[in-house]
Amino acid sequence: MSFGSPYVTLPDFTYHRPTTIEEVLKILKEHGDEAKVMGGGVGLLAFMKERLMSPSHVIDIKGVKELGGADYVPGRGLRIGASVTIAELCQNDLIQDKFTVLHEALSRVADQMIRGRATLVGNLCEAIPWVDSPPALISLDATVEVVGPGGRRKVPVASFIKGPVDIDLGPEEMVASVEVPDVSGMRSTFEKFTSGSEFSLASIAVTLQSQGRKRTARVVYGAVNSTPVRCQEVEQVLEQETSRASIRRAADTAADKVECMSDVLASSDYRKHLVKVVTTKALGRLLQK
């Protein structure tokens, strides 16, 4: 007997539920490109229904203990395992207090049911231009820990995302975790503009760290181009001055310098306008804190 939707089906595949990283790597080695790693599955299953991907092996990593859990070690930072859901991270008070930009970005991902399944690593690995976590992670100087036949390697999130739906990951490799370095005296925030759905048309992640008189800013825009865009000109504005007047200067600088694309969702001119809007909103909130 067979059943299933006559309208939307998944391609045929074999489901695997390994319990160790070694087992995952073994299946990947055996099947290469024919195998896909599944965290929450919200992205992978959607891609498979659209036949954008048709792996013949799906490796569910939720049974791998080592890939669960988010641990913070003072001085070292935060390590988030590949199977940790976005909802789990949203409930983490330490992330809310210390890495506010990440908390704010993750609380605005899709909806409650999706966040309960979707993982941060999955969100990152989709590398879709409008997903929310990459700008926040880049503003925090986060790195991705990749494991494969050659051992472990670490890649900054900024270079891990090579292009839309294109990441620095070999067919026999998997992402084990994301690491966020520790910081002190940091203020940060995330803002996004959406229209009619939770998909972002422009987003911004800002971190501002003071050490004595020295101030370091990181400003990263999402959804405005095919990959997240860091804007050093806006960072310089904030490193010089954080008065109310600097908000306007930063917003104008952003609209001038951030390269925006045109697509079916919005024109580049409209995105430039939105860049100004999200910059003003984010900095307004951050500098009043």
Partner 1 sequence: MRDLALMVNGQSRSLRAKDNLLLLDLLRDGLEVRSVKAACWRGECGLCTVLLNGSLVKSCLVLAAEANGGEVTTVEGISEGEKLTPIQEAFVEHGATQCGFCTPAWVLTTHELLKANPNPSEKEVEEAVGGLLCRCGTYNEIREAVADASKAYAKARKSIVQRAR
Joined together, the tokens standing for residue 246 give: 């600097």
Coil vs helix vs strand at 98: helix
CB nearer partner 1, residue 63 or residue 156: 63
Coil vs helix vs strand at 188: strand
- The span from the CA of 133 to the CA of 86, in Å, is 10
Nearest distance from residue 256's CB to partner 1, in Å?
35
Nearest distance from residue 112's CB to partner 1, in Å?
6
Cα 65 to Cα 20, 45, 176, distances in angstroms: 7, 22, 11
CB nearer partner 1, residue 97 or residue 111: 111
CB nearer partner 1, residue 68 or residue 156: 68
182, burial (CB in 10 Å: exposed 0-12, middle 13-18, buried 19+): middle
CB nearer partner 1, residue 44 or residue 217: 44
Coil vs helix vs strand at 161: strand
CA atoms within 13 A on the CB side of 79: 16
Binding-site ranges for partner 1 (CB under 8 A):
1-5, 7-15, 17, 40-42, 45-46, 49, 58, 60, 62, 110-114, 116-117
Judge contact between 123 and 167, C-beta under 8 A.
Answer: no
CB nearer partner 1, residue 10 or residue 265: 10
- The span from the CA of 188 to the CA of 211, in Å, is 15
In DSSP terms, 167 is beta-bridged to 161
CB nearer partner 1, residue 42 or residue 238: 42
- Which bin fits 200, alpha (ψ -120 to 50), beta or left (φ > 0)? beta
Nearest distance from residue 276's CB to partner 1, in Å?
27
Cα 148 to Cα 175, 178, 280, distances in angstroms: 9, 15, 43
Largest CA distance in the chain: 72
CB nearer partner 1, residue 67 or residue 251: 67
Strand (E) or helix (H) holding 115? helix 112-117
Nearest distance from residue 2's CB to partner 1, in Å?
7
CB nearer partner 1, residue 125 or residue 220: 125
Nearest distance from residue 67's CB to partner 1, in Å?
15
Nearest distance from residue 91's CB to partner 1, in Å?
12
Distance of CA 223 to the CA centre of its chain: 12
Nearest distance from residue 107's CB to partner 1, in Å?
9
Nearest distance from residue 197's CB to partner 1, in Å?
8
